[in-house]
A and B are shown apart, each in its own frame.
Chain A
């Protein structure tokens, strides 16, 4: 347990979904050291939608991977629901969506979505039930038997999201999930993601380099800057919810975008 936290693990888990204290990450490659993250501190409340925003090399993906136990920090402490990231991973707290859909070519849509359930040894009948609901929710019902290569990029990413949600993880880690999609598809999937978030109450960590996307989606935007990667500022987004397409036309939305841009300009990123 971290030294600075007097409350019990239980109470911490209730008030903080994810906490990072003085987290640093240094990569070693060919004798050269690269500081990917320097002294990152962040507390995430359960049910929050946090965007990690910044240019390439600011360490936003690294931070996501550290939380998801796909990497281990060089120093500092990470806690996920009061547990180490490794414990949390083994307890299957994470649903992960990458920029690429990473679907298995030899499985159709249904079987791709069922992959984690198979690994968790969920009984077949229960698997079928949950997949059916999810495919309907994600607008994939007509593609249940299709193979990944028969779907467009946006549809593939929907399957990836359905797969991540299939086992109802408490934390969704999304690494530029819509980064490779066109603007229109991206906006539509943004809306769908918000709806899902409202329905499930999942804590979401969302890596992006799109300022409008971060502002539109998040409860808080974590602005990060590179060399070395660090958190520049955390901007709470108090736009009313539920947000929809018209939110993108309100003055408040533009003010937040301006605010984020100003923050990035101060650091000569923009």
Chain B
């Protein structure tokens, strides 16, 4: 029926139980990962991530040296050696391309060393996380609600879907100021902007998910004379959960972007407000460390969702 449906069961011989490999069904490079202890499995995931991470770091340093070269040369004696210039480019006061360690230092300074200092980064991170989290929650509920309506009233889907799609073509940068003018610079406004960015992906994936159960599964319900409510909670919704989580993961990063964009306008706190501050005072390092904080937050929410998904979704493990 749908292209993302799980593969049909192969019905082979009886009473032979297929090996159970839990949720880690994707075999690792050596093919024997399903039997390896959790630690080894974790390592198999960790090393490719580490390799890519190192590659990014190396590329970043190369870019930083090249980008900061003219700036570094300015403060040096004319016959400075190559290595002296490289060293200088690593520790400029306000570099054009800050190297990774300076970005991390700046974030560390904001988070730990200056907890009551000029930029109380924890408060900013917390503010953005709160807005994004609330928006994600509201957007998910709204998305599922819309999808439920669409699935049960095809006329509603036909008549509203174009407008739902159109709503997403409006740039959030254009919409955020209008909304904030209407609602004011407060939590509500930011949650609304975030919700607006979140609900679409959830609604689209939930519509597909709520329709994903096979016709036979529905006929089974019909033979039990199950009512619409029972069909929804016992068949449609559980079948939709894997789809909804896919939409949620896409939206979780969008939620952060939404919250930060909303904070760009007149906010005192939040990562968006930090970006404005960095821009206003010409502190590029602050822009970079704020971006780093944002990506850590995004990664964290993605991981959290993955864990929740694992606990909630009891679908068959996908075979590679």
Which A residues fall within an 8 A CB radius of B? 68-70, 89-90, 92, 94-96, 98, 100-102, 104-107, 115-116, 118-120, 143, 146-157, 180-182, 184-185, 188-189
Contact = CB atoms under 8 A, between A and B. Distances in A.
A106 B12 CA distance: 22
B222 A155 contact: no
Given A104-B235, A147-B316, A152 B219 contact: no
A150 B20 contact: yes
Interface stretch (B3-11, B85-93, B283-291): B3-11
Contacts of B6: 105
B14 A153 contact: yes
Given A182-B13, A182-B14, A184-B13, 19 more contacts: A69-B222, A89-B223, A92-B224, A96-B219, A98-B220, A100-B8, A100-B214, A102-B214, A115-B234, A116-B224, A119-B230, A120-B224, A152-B13, A154-B11, A154-B14, A155-B17, A156-B11, A180-B11, A188-B14
Interface string B1-31: 0000010111111111110100000000000
Contacts of A107: 314
Given A102-B214, A104-B238, A89 B11 contact: no
Contacts of B219: 70, 96, 98
Interface residues of B, number: 35
A92 B225 contact: yes
Nearest to B223: A96
B194 to A, nearest CB: 30
B217 interface: yes
Contact of B13 (A118, A148, A185): A185
B34 to A, nearest CB: 13
B223 A94 contact: yes
Given A106-B315, A182-B12, A152 B17 contact: yes
B316 A90 contact: no
Contacts of A118: 234
Given A70-B219, A106-B315, A155 B234 contact: no
20 contacts: A69-B222, A90-B225, A92-B225, A98-B219, A101-B9, A104-B217, A104-B234, A106-B241, A107-B314, A115-B224, A119-B226, A119-B230, A119-B234, A120-B224, A147-B314, A149-B316, A152-B15, A182-B12, A184-B13, A188-B14
Contacts, number: 105
Interface in B212-239: 214, 216-217, 219-226, 230, 234-235, 238-239
| Max chain B Cβ within 10 angstroms of own Cβ: one of A105, A143, A181, A188 | A105
A147 B241 CA distance: 17
B313 interface: yes
A100 B14 contact: no
Interface string B291-320: 000000000000000000000011111000
A155 B10 CA distance: 12
A68 B216 CA distance: 13
Interface in B76-108: none
B222 A89 contact: yes
B216 A152 contact: no
Interface of B: 6, 8-18, 20, 214, 216-217, 219-226, 230, 234-235, 238-239, 241, 313-317
Contacts of B239: 104, 106
A105 B217 CA distance: 11
A102 B216 contact: yes
A185 B222 CA distance: 29
Contacts of B11: 152-154, 156-157, 180-181
Contacts of A152: 11-18
Nearest to A153: B11
Contacts of B224: 92, 115-116, 119-120
A63 to B, nearest CB: 15
Contacts of A89: 222-223, 225
A151 B17 contact: yes
Contacts of A98: 216, 219-220
B319 to A, nearest CB: 9
Nearest to A89: B225
A154 B314 contact: no
B20 to A, nearest CB: 5
A106 B20 contact: no
Nearest to B319: A149
Contacts of B317: 149
A115 B224 CA distance: 9
A101 to B, nearest CB: 7
A188 to B, nearest CB: 7
A106 B18 contact: no
Given A119-B226, A149-B316, A102 B13 contact: no
A106 B217 CA distance: 13
Contacts of B15: 152, 154-155
